Chain A
Amino acid sequence: MHPFTYTRVSDTREALAAGRRGGRYIAGGTTLVDLMRETVERPEALVDISGLPLGEITVTERGGLRIGALVTMSEAAAHRKVRTLFPVVSEALELSASAQLRNMATIGGNIMQRTRCTYFRDVTADCNKREPGSGCAALHGVNRTHAILGTSDACVATHPSDAAVAFAALEAQVRLLGPDGERQVPFADFLLRPGSTPDREQALRKGELITAVEVPALPRPLKSGYLKVRDRQSYEFALTSAAVALHVRGGVIREARVAAGGVGTVPWKLPAVERHLVGERPSDSLWTAAAAKAAEGARPLQHNRFKVELLERTVARQLRIVGGTK
């Protein structure tokens, strides 16, 4: 680990000033400290933001949720309002990492976490995300766990977060605070596809601070849930996953929110699946037909071709779990 200076800040003004000077924010630290030890990350100055007042969960006026950036994953997952209003969020959180890591990691840090691509984590390997221009060892390497959607010739790494898949499905907003004040960015625009600049992962300006993730209200009743498929039953990243939320009234699906994880370079929203569902009546054949659109545009690699069918089956199964059958 490279040496770094350490500063603890107690208000956002102080944090932003330190951030503007190039300081790196640290909250839970579960990703950052790990990557610093591997020398993948080499910040010269750490700014500890854990003392900032960003640890609240509030229900917004119309029945959405605002989750403060410093709420831990375990706090968010256990929160009564999160569990009742958006089970897809609490389930995604509880299926992530381990109890220990969830006690440390925060919501803001969770969506900022970096890929688990082994070549990214290995400083001796070529990786355009870590070392722009060096190449991508995963493209023709051991790429079984890599992405099939949103890839480029420069990078095929998946985004590892489960919660981010739920947030993408629900069309959450990321609230940011910077030197020029507050702004919010739709989740779909916050995490960036690699393109030719895989080292640029978020639509963050220098020194900007995530203050909260805001899940918008959806019509009720709403059923939602998260399914994660992986190589072992627990404490493992997703091979595929599906976040589903459905609003059914009068026997007809009126609203559908669907996204997939483990398959995209960013959490992968599935608008074609959503469109196929809206206006239809729940049925097994509907779930299968809708899920058949989940892998549209997929570009499988040598070792992850299996993800195409696994994704379709994961989405179909989760639609059935959330939407039931006649």
Chain B
Amino acid sequence: MSTELPESAVPPPTGAGESSPAPTRRTFIATSTAVGGAVVAGGAIGGSFLAAPEEVAAAEAPPSSPVSLTVNGSRRTVTVDNRTSLLDLLREHLDLTGSKKGCNAGACGACTVLVDGRRVNSCLTLAVRLEGAEVTTIEGLADGDQLHPLQQAFIDEDAFQCGYCTPGQIVSGVGCIQEGHTGSPEEIREWMSGNICRCGCYVKIVRAVEQTAGRK
């Protein structure tokens, strides 16, 4: 997995309502990584160990652009480095870490979100192109404490093991059901083929999608 964190002209939002008093697992890992990185950088000659010269030059003034979009019903206006993917915008700037970075190349489907109602790979979507778009992520599917029927079906059918691909599977499944490609298990398999599950939970994933489609 590659990480790509172009700097943003705006820091991640730090609204009082969004910060938690105790360190979470995620902030703990992030802090530990930062400390580890500092140690490595300190040991490098001239401090140029981590970045190639052209990357340093690029980091000085990366072209950035403002973009306003709606994410899970909330209007967000951000200024992003033009290189920022929708996936990185969600995960690194909006703290919506449900969408996962698997391959970062459009080959695994773990990053699947809905843009204007259609399922897409957020890793291949440049955030700067989403002016006025409506984005729905896994975090936006539930209605309060009421899970989306497909979320519930994944639990009922035990349709995951490690869970890493699950947010992408569920959002993709929602798209698949909306598109009406759920006529048979074979049709579901074909139209869900953009979501890879290394644990091999396909039989139960197909069953969860089939049952949810049948209930509609």
Residues of chain A from 1 to 55 with CB closer than 8 A to chain B in the complex: 1-6, 8, 26, 29-30, 33-34, 36-38, 46, 48, 50
A4-B63, A234-B189 are known contacts. Are A103 and B82 too (CB-CB below 8 A)? no
Determine if B193 is an interface residue (Cβ-Cβ < 8 Å): yes
CA distance A48 to B193 in the complex (A): 29
Restricting to B105-119, which residues have a CB under 8 Å from any CB of A?
A: 105-106, 109, 112, 118-119
Q: Is the CB of A6 within 8 A of B194?
A: no
Count contacts on B: residues with CB < 8 A to the other chain: 39
Which of A2, A6, A36, A38 has the most chain B CB atoms inside 10 A of its CB? A6
**When A3-B83, A6-B63, A235-B194 are in contact, do A104 and B125 touch as well, CB less than 8 Å?**
yes
Contact B82 A3, beta carbon cutoff 8 Å? yes
Contact A29 B4 (CB under 8 A): no
- A6 engages B120 (CB within 8 Å): no
Q: Is the CB of B65 within 8 A of A234?
A: no
Residues in B with CB closer than 8 Å to A99 are: 119, 172, 175-176, 179, 181, 191-194
Pick the interface stretch among B68-76, B126-134, B207-215.
B126-134
- CB of A321 within 8 A of chain B? no
Contact B63 A235 (CB under 8 A): no
User: What class of interface size applies to chain A in its complex with B?
Assistant: 20 to 34
* Complex interface bits, A90-107 against B, C-beta within 8 A gives 1, otherwise 0: 000000011111011000
Q: Which residues of A contact B54 (CB under 8 A)?
A: 2
CB–CB B128/A6 < 8 A: yes
> Once the chains bind, are B121 and A30 in contact (CB under 8 Å)?
yes
Decide yes or no whether B102 CB sits under 8 A from chain A.
no
- Whether B106 and A30, one on each chain, are in contact in the complex, defined by CB atoms closer than 8 angstroms, is yes
**Count of inter-chain pairs, beta carbons less than 8 A:** 94
Whether A101 contacts B121 in the complex (CB less than 8 A), given A29-B129, A37-B104, A234-B193, comes out as: yes
Q: A3 → chain B, closest Cβ, in Å? A: 5
- With CB as the reference atom, state the residue of chain A lying closest to B175: A99
* Nearest 10 Cβ contacts at the A-B interface: A98-B194, A234-B193, A235-B193, A103-B118, A6-B82, A1-B83, A3-B62, A100-B194, A5-B63, A3-B58
Check B124–A4 contact: CB distance below 8 A. Answer: no
Q: In the complex, what's the smallest C-beta–C-beta distance from A233 to chain B, in angstroms? A: 8
Q: Is the CB of B129 within 8 A of A48?
A: yes
Counting CB contacts under 8 A, is B95 at the interface? no
Q: Which residues of A contact B189 (CB under 8 A)?
A: 234
How far is A234 from B206 in the complex, measured between Cα atoms in Å? 15
Question: B121, A100: Cβ atoms under 8 Å?
Answer: yes
Q: Known contacts being A3-B62, A6-B128, is A100 close to B82, with CB within 8 Å? A: no
Partner of B193, one of A26, A33, A74, A98: A98
In the complex, the chain B residue whose C-beta lies closest to that of A36 is B83
Indicate whether B158 reaches chain A with its CB closer than 8 angstroms.
no
A1 to B175, CA, bound (A): 30
* B54 nearest in chain A by CB position: A2
Mask for B19-58, Cβ within 8 A of A = 1, else 0? 0000000000000000000000000000000000010001
**Given the known A-B contacts A3-B58, A3-B63, A3-B82, are A33 and B119 also in contact in the complex, defined by CB atoms under 8 Å?**
no
With contacts A37-B104, A234-B189 taken as known, whether A6 is within 8 angstroms of B65 at the C-beta atoms is yes
Q: A3-B82, A6-B82 are in contact. Are A29 and B175 (CB under 8 A)?
A: no
In the complex, the chain B residue whose C-beta lies closest to that of A35 is B105
Cβ–Cβ < 8 Å partners of B105 in chain A: 34, 37-38
